[in-house]
Amino acid sequence: MNKVCAIFGGSRGIGRAVAQLMAQKGYRLAIIARNLEVAKAAAGDLGGNHLAFSCDVAKEHDVQNTFEEMEKHLGQVNFLVNAAGINRDSLLVRTKTEDMISQLNTNLLGSMLTCKAAMRTMIQQQGGSIVNVGSIIGLKGNSGQSVYSASKGGLVGFSRALAKEVARKKIRVNVVAPGFVHTDMTKDLKEEQLKKSIPLGRFGETIEVAHAIVFLLESPYITGHVLVVDGGLQLVV
């Protein structure tokens, strides 16, 4: 298979698990993150002919350069996963403006920029599939995470609107909204306490979210959908 999948945030956590599944399925992958060494190691671990790129999704010229490089070395991008994300949790009154900006720029603007860059080639090839990684917090809200919630809620609105905009071009755009998942992002949380509020009684694993992302990437008749993968958390929060 020669299909190319670009995974922003593919060096660690959920994005890395997506990369593992997509590599097993025979896709050619671009593993993209700010830290090139970590991205290279992740790409190397997959075996095969995958490439790593350094890019800050919050910077438009970085994103444009990365798409140019990917096309030069891998060919046109058919699949795009936006799993790059950060959180700076704090009550709004204590949140610094720079932390608001960095969350919005990485989680929301970053996905807009990569989707925009992908559109040119996807429109040209009359097809493509995008999954943006949101969060259950973007749908339900959470105290101490108002800005993060806004970034992820905004991502849903953006993805659904874009899905309508490009459906005629046979480009699909979907969202996966995870609950608590074991990654670097959640390693400092009070897991024992938090898991009591999750109906399935535990945090999720990256591979469990990755399966949902790959499912949407490959589902030819689903677009504009938000797939929640949260152990039932949405039932209680």
Is 27 designated active site? Answer: no
d(CA 108, CA 134): 9
Site for ligand NDP contains 154 (CB under 6 A): no
Note the maximum CA span of the chain. 51
Specify the residue, 129 or 230, whose C-beta has the smaller distance to ligand NDP.
230
Contact status: 133 vs ligand NDP (CB under 6 A): yes
Residue 153 interacts with ligand NDP (CB under 6 A): yes or no:
no
Please identify, among the stretches 9-17, 116-124, 165-173, 217-225, the one whose residues bind ligand NDP according to the rule CB under 6 A: 9-17
* Tokens standing for residue 212: 């949902």
How many chain residues bind ligand NDP (CB under 6 A)? 31
Nearer to ligand NDP, 95 or 106 (CB): 106
* 130 belongs to the binding site for ligand NDP (CB under 6 A): no
Residues 97-116 that bind ligand NDP (CB under 6 A): 106-107, 110
Q: How far apart are CA 81 and CA 10, in angstroms?
A: 9
Is 50 a binding residue for ligand NDP by CB under 6 A? The answer is no
Residue 53 as a binder of ligand NDP (CB under 6 A): the answer is: no
CB atoms inside a 10 Å sphere around CB 139: 18
Q: Which is nearer to ligand NDP, 4 or 213 (CB)?
A: 213
Q: Does 83 bind ligand NDP (CB under 6 A)?
A: yes
Cβ atoms within 10 Å of 156's Cβ, excluding its own: 18
Q: Look-up: residue for tokens 């101490």?
A: 144
Q: Contact between 186 and ligand NDP (CB under 6 A)?
A: yes
Q: Determine the Cα–Cα distance for residues 202 and 160; give it in Å rounded to an integer.
A: 30
Q: Residue 52: how many CB atoms within 10 A of its CB?
A: 21
CA atoms within 13 A on the CB side of 193: 3
CB 21 within 8 A of CB 211: yes
Residues belonging to the active site:
148
Residues that bind ligand NDP (CB under 6 A): 8-9, 11-15, 33-35, 38, 55-58, 83-86, 106-107, 110, 133, 135, 178, 180-181, 183-186
